[in-house]
Structure 1
Amino acid sequence: MSLYPPLQAYIERAQALPIGEERKRILQVLIDYVQQKIDQGQDINLNFICTHNSRRSQFSQLWGKVAATYHGIDMNSFSGGVEVTAFNERAVASIRRFGFKVTKKGEANPTYFVFFSDDEDPIVTFSKVFDDAANAPTAFAAVMTCSHADENCPFIPGAEARIPVRYEDPKAYDDTELEEEKYDERSLQIASEMLYVFSRIKKK
Structure 2
Amino acid sequence: MYKDIKKSIAELLVLPISNERKETLSALVAYVQHKVTADLDVNINFICTHNSRRSHLSQIWAQVAASYYNIPRVFCCSGGTEATALYPKVVDTLVNTGFVIDKLSEADNPIYIIKYADSVMPIVGFSKTYDHLFNPKRGFAAVMTCVQADGGCPFVAGAEKRIPIIFEDPKVSDGTPEQTKVYSQRSSQIASEMFYVFSMIKTNRC
TM-score tier, shorter chain, comes to: over 0.9
Separation in structure 1 between the aligned mates of residue 187 and residue 121 of structure 2, nearest angstrom: 21
For residue 80 of structure 1, give the secondary structure of its aligned residue in structure 2: strand
1:172 paired to 2:206: no
Separation in structure 2 between the aligned mates of residue 11 and residue 147 of structure 1, nearest angstrom: 27
* 2:38 match: 40
Separation in structure 2 between the aligned mates of residue 69 and residue 155 of structure 1, nearest angstrom: 30
Distance apart, 1:37 and its partner CA: 0.5
Separation in structure 2 between the aligned mates of residue 92 and residue 52 of structure 1, nearest angstrom: 15
Distance apart, 1:41 and its partner CA: 1.4
Identity across matched positions, percent: 48
* 1:100 match: 99
Q: Can you give the 5+ residue segments of structure 1 that lack an aligned partner in the other structure?
A: none
Separation in structure 1 between the aligned mates of residue 164 and residue 154 of structure 2, nearest angstrom: 12
Separation in structure 2 between the aligned mates of residue 105 and residue 39 of structure 1, nearest angstrom: 38
Cα deviations by residue, 1:124-163 (Å, 9 ceiling, x for unpaired): 1110000000001100000000000000001100000000
For residue 16 of structure 1, give the secondary structure of its aligned residue in structure 2: coil
Q: Can you give the 5+ residue segments of structure 2 that lack an aligned partner in the other structure?
A: none
RMSD: 0.6
Distance apart, 1:201 and its partner CA: 0.2
* 1:191 match: 191
Separation in structure 1 between the aligned mates of residue 53 and residue 135 of structure 2, nearest angstrom: 17
Q: Which runs of 4+ in 1 moved over 3 A?
A: none
* 2:113 match: 113
* 2:28 match: 30
Separation in structure 2 between the aligned mates of residue 78 and residue 69 of structure 1, nearest angstrom: 15
* 2:143 match: 143
The residue identity in structure 1 corresponding to 2:77 is: F
Distance apart, 1:60 and its partner CA: 0.4
Distance apart, 1:5 and its partner CA: 1.0
For residue 64 of structure 1, give the secondary structure of its aligned residue in structure 2: helix
